[in-house]
Amino acid sequence: MKRIFLICAIALSGAFVINAQNRLIVDADQGKETISKHIYGHFSEHLGHCIYGGIWVGENSTIPNTRGIRNDVVKALKDLQIPNLRWPGGCFADEYHWMDGIGPRDKRPKMINTHWGGVVEDNSFGTHEFLDLCEQLGCEPYISGNLGSGSVEEMSKWVEYITFDGESPMANLRKQNGREKPWKVKFWGVGNESWGCGGNMTAETYSDQYRRYATYCRDYGNNRLYKIACGASDFDYNWTETVIKNIGNRMNGLSLHYYTVPKSWQDKGSATQFDEAEYFTTIQKTLRMNELLTQHSTIMDRYDPQKRIGLITDEWGVWYNVEPGTNPGFLYQQNTLRDAIVAALNFNIFNAHCDRVKMANIAQIVNVLQSVILTDNEKMVLTPTYWAFYLYKVHQDATLLPVNLTCGKYGVQNATPPAFEPPAGFPGGRQQGGQIDVISASASKDASGKIHITLVNVDPSKAQTLETELRGATVKKITGKALTSAKLQDFNSFDNPETVGVKEFKDFKLQNGKISVNLPSKSVVLLEIE
């Protein structure tokens, strides 16, 4: 039987859609891999108003707080069930000396934040405050240690201060500062971006430094460190090859950083003022995460075929020009429906690679880059990206279900072909020349047996009908939620905080054991199937 393709060219925008039958097959009884909850992690750096004003306001603030930490932000993040939080950086981590941030706050030394705006850092938010925040959130801490400007002794003592339950100078100092029992801190980064702001090292030099520093990051009591080595930036496959070859099983995880930059690093583009062509480029660049995870994983497989070492994508997200009139060193940007779609596409990709990807951290959690929350003094707003996390939390620690997706294409004329093609049957995100899959999908089964399917329609103007077949399961009940808005450029402001949000979704029908779903244009949809 011949397939008939209808090509619809939109001359003014240069966009086009190639229509084909959209079909999704979910093998509901064949899941093997677990989607680690830590894929849905977050990142907080001493940068702009992420910590100060975004998370920390101090005990004397008129903004409701618990021991100086904003109550509204904590509640919003708990509703996302965030699994982990990375701190204190980022580039800031490799100029941060942890002993400056303990003890009485009025006696803590001040420093200059040379990376981010040249502002004074008063160290009022330090180790105790961060770990208090994690306890309030019910999430696991992920601490980035200072390998760039710090010493082996300094990092070693930080681990001892936090995790040792016994008699030692560091444990006694912790007790003097008000914490009798040690904390549990599993995730430990040994340096950050050592190829750049963390020391401008070669891969060989960093490998040697990692082995030295990590030797003295010890396990105390029943606290077992999960040591994360500094991995590559973007497409630097040589860094991955060199580091995993030289460090090997001395690490538990290897990081990867990739930012979606719509235009160029000199002019990244506006967060809110963009046309369809720039939207398409943003999505196309986002989907290159497929290439990165596949290629870096292939290198890791040669040295670690059992996949004991996790690939840790601990900085990802969209990076735009800062909002007009704001400090360029504070990286404050708005957040539109486009960003929710970017987040959802990344989640589907991370889920598909969950055999190797064990953690991911969006940059960043509040007021910086692709944040889930924005604050302005006592005001707080939840961004479209927040609502993408809200929909996708159902995948945390669920079993990944194999899917096979065939769908139409969306694109623009004269787009640059990508350098990489994911394999046939990959769950969305394939690119062919100036075209991308119009739909992306991911599916999982939770501990109670419920099946969750997350779907993205990247087409900004046309709904898509998706015929879905669940193999190995009987459908009794379906409910849905959707995230969309009138325009891609829509965002939530302090004056209009609910422009973009999640609503009940009912535009589906079950017939002869198959589900027909009508996906709105530019939307993210969650189906829960019992």
CA-to-CA distance for 30 and 39, rounded, in angstroms?
21
Cβ-based burial of 233 (10 A; exposed 0-12, middle 13-18, buried ≥19): middle
3-state secondary structure of 77: helix
Among 95, 160, 291, 315, which one carries the catalytic annotation?
315
CA-to-CA distance for 226 and 309, rounded, in angstroms?
10
Which two structure tokens, joined as six digits, stand for 275? Answer: 């046309």
3-state helix vs strand vs coil in the chain, percent to 5:
25, 30, 45
Residue 315 is among the residues annotated as catalytic for this protein? yes
Among 167, 193, 278, 291, which one carries the catalytic annotation?
193
Q: Which residues contact 281 (CB under 8 A, 6 or more apart)?
A: 262, 263, 415
CB atoms within 10 A of CB 207: 24
Of the candidates 116, 99, 186, 49, the residue with the CA atom closest to the CA atom of residue 328: 116
- At residue 313's C-alpha, the angle toward residues 159 and 72, to 5°, is 75
CA-to-CA distance for 196 and 178, rounded, in angstroms?
37
Residues in the chain: 530
Of the candidates 515, 72, 60, the residue with the CA atom closest to the CA atom of residue 529: 515
Which two structure tokens, joined as six digits, stand for 323? Answer: 């909002």
CA-to-CA distance for 227 and 144, rounded, in angstroms?
10
Of the candidates 479, 454, 351, 455, the residue with the CA atom closest to the CA atom of residue 407: 455
Q: Are 374 and 315 in contact (CB under 8 A)?
A: no
CA-to-CA distance for 393 and 485, rounded, in angstroms?
21
Of the candidates 376, 320, 371, 316, the residue with the CA atom closest to the CA atom of residue 347: 316
Does residue 248 have a cis bond before it (omega within 30 degrees)? no
CA-to-CA distance for 191 and 187, rounded, in angstroms?
12
How many whole angstroms from its chain centre is CA 17? Answer: 29
348 torsion bin: left (phi>0), alpha (psi -120 to 50), beta (else):
alpha
Q: Are 263 and 269 in contact (CB under 8 A)?
A: yes
How many whole angstroms from its chain centre is CA 323? Answer: 22
3-state secondary structure of 375: strand
Q: Tokens 């009022």 label which residue? A: 124
CA-to-CA separations, 455 to 226, 250, 384, 500, 508, in angstroms, rounded: 33, 38, 16, 17, 13
CA-to-CA distance for 364 and 172, rounded, in angstroms?
34
Active site residues: 193, 315
